[in-house]
Chain A
Amino acid sequence: MQKFDTKVQYLKYQVLREVARHAWDDTLMESVLDIPKTIAPGPAPTMRCCVYKERAILAERMKLAMGGGSSDNIIQVIDIACDDCPAVGYEVTSSCRGCLAHRCESACKRGAISFDHHHEAHIDKAKCVECGMCAKVCPYSAIVNRKRPCQAACKIKAISIKEDNCAQIDDEACIQCGACVYQCPFGAITDRSYLINVIDMLKRSCDNSRYKVYALVAPAIGSQMAYAKLGQVIAGIKKLGFHTVVEAALGADMVAQTESRELVEKGFLTSSCCPAFVRYVKTAFPALTAHISHNQSPMATLAKYIKGRDKDAKIVFIGPCTAKKAEAQLADVKPYVDAVITFEELQALFDSRDIELNALEEDVLDNASYFGRIFARSGGLSDAVVEALKEEHMDGFSVKACVCDGIEECRAALLRKSKEALDANFIEGMACVSGCIGGAGNLTHGEKNKAAVDRYGREAMEKTIADAVSVLR
């Protein structure tokens, strides 16, 4: 079964794997200049114009894989990898047959469409406002929108084009969701990695004798690495040297309970689990900041609990999320979470140690309830809050949730709320479409992933939130 959706992910993975391999062996410093050559051996190029450009780009990828980069942002553009895609907007293609109907002309409210002597349509860019109505009505699909995939992916419009035609991220506006990372067909945008920090942490623990390294895995794991059994993935994580693996979904159970109480107390709330959403509210709708739930995210909540009992613990969050890497650097989260890596990076870690998941005996993972686990998909958080209220017999309060699937829907809901025109008392904000299973750090994104997470949820031993969190008292 294929491990990745795209060849770009595979390329990024190869770099991470090689960096990890040398980091384990303490040979990273002397091999730094050789790694690009092992990935692009040449002499013929396989991706770009020549093997030297390929290697130059690989060297840039390595910088980010080793935690470096040109700015503090998690998401960064590799300038020399950017293909300067055309970004002309709506354009009439050669598929235009010069028909008689001229639906495009009628649809255009700005009068931007004219016809040449072959009756073929043309768009006057000075008049066009990129509404797309002409493209919608053309029976031959002859009008296309040539947008840069990165800009199309970035719904909050944090990507612009520099004078040299290369893409540029506005670090202030960027919410670190990673949508552009997954969508750029040239792999020119990527997320900075903390993989070597994790390897260092594992090595220095001396087999968890000096301190224990805990892996907190996000519930989206239920949809990932489908080529092996979940129990084998857990066994693999322990084989890497982690003391144990705990479900971040247990943190989600904890959050569902406290968040439902907070909702009743305040009457209106937005969720705070998705760090990209939280950052978006703070930067784009600062007036609504007070409505963000005061709960920390499930990751931070559970990490704090563990460190409260094991003060020397080191905590590594493994999930589908690039924004979590930024969350872990926030002042109120930093003391609890020591590093964040993605599932993509976990795969690279496994392969850097030649760990074949299919050959391992199954271990177990069971800390959370069904409700904590379904936080991984859109709608799950709202379901959990409703359940928590039911379990606490706060039936008098009725939750009217506005489930926002993706940052565009979040924006619409926040806009309505800022005008006091939102008919809801709870906003579930998830920056990625489908929720965490749509996150940029997943190996695969597919139709079946939601069903996979629900199935994983139903397999939980604890059926209620109260039962799952009762062990923590």
Chain B
Amino acid sequence: MKITVCIGSSCHIKGSRLVVEQLQYLIAENKLGDEIELGGTFCMGKCQQGVCVMVDDQLFSVSPETVREFFEKNVKPKFA
């Protein structure tokens, strides 16, 4: 699985650094380091929906407060 977090200016201001950090932590915690490729990209063109996170081809709107919820709901079940 490929997770791409937008690190463009608009998402960065909305907290993409914290989203990246928490995702790194959650991936490690769930021992999914070999399954998930986490990357960044500058701007997905959907600045209003930031922080934009793409899981393979699906776009999600995540904030530093909702990362865990997003991960539990949209990432973890795929490896259950």
Structural contact, B13 and A244, CB atoms closer than 8 A: no
Structural contact, B13 and A364, CB atoms closer than 8 A: yes
Structural contact, B16 and A310, CB atoms closer than 8 A: no
Instruction: Return chain B residues, CB-CB under 8 Å to A244.
Output: 8-9, 42-43, 45
**A470-B20, A471-B7, A471-B20 are contacts. A366–B12 as well, Cβ < 8 Å?**
yes
- Residue B61 CB within 8 A of the other chain: no
Q: Mark B34-54, 1 if CB is under 8 A from A, else 0.
A: 000001111101000000000
- Residue A365 CB within 8 A of the other chain: yes
Q: Mark A434-473, 1 if CB is under 8 A from B, else 0.
A: 0000000000000000000000000001100001001111
CA of A471 to CA of B12, assembled, Å: 9
Which A residues, 218 to 265, have Cβ-Cβ distances below 8 Å to chain B? 234, 243-247
> Interface size class for chain B?
10 to 19
- Residue B29 CB within 8 A of the other chain: no
- Residue A306 CB within 8 A of the other chain: yes
- Residue A370 CB within 8 A of the other chain: no
- Residue B68 CB within 8 A of the other chain: no
CA of A246 to CA of B17, assembled, Å: 15
> Interface size class for chain A?
20 to 34
**A367-B7, A471-B20, A473-B24 are contacts. A310–B41 as well, Cβ < 8 Å?**
yes
- Residue A162 CB within 8 A of the other chain: no
Q: Give the interface of B toward A (CB within 8 A).
A: 5, 7-10, 12-13, 16-17, 20-21, 24, 39-43, 45
24 CB-based A-B contacts, threshold 8 Å: A234-B9, A243-B43, A244-B45, A246-B8, A246-B42, A247-B9, A306-B42, A309-B40, A363-B10, A364-B10, A366-B13, A367-B8, A367-B9, A367-B42, A461-B12, A467-B17, A470-B17, A471-B7, A471-B12, A471-B20, A471-B40, A472-B7, A472-B40, A473-B20
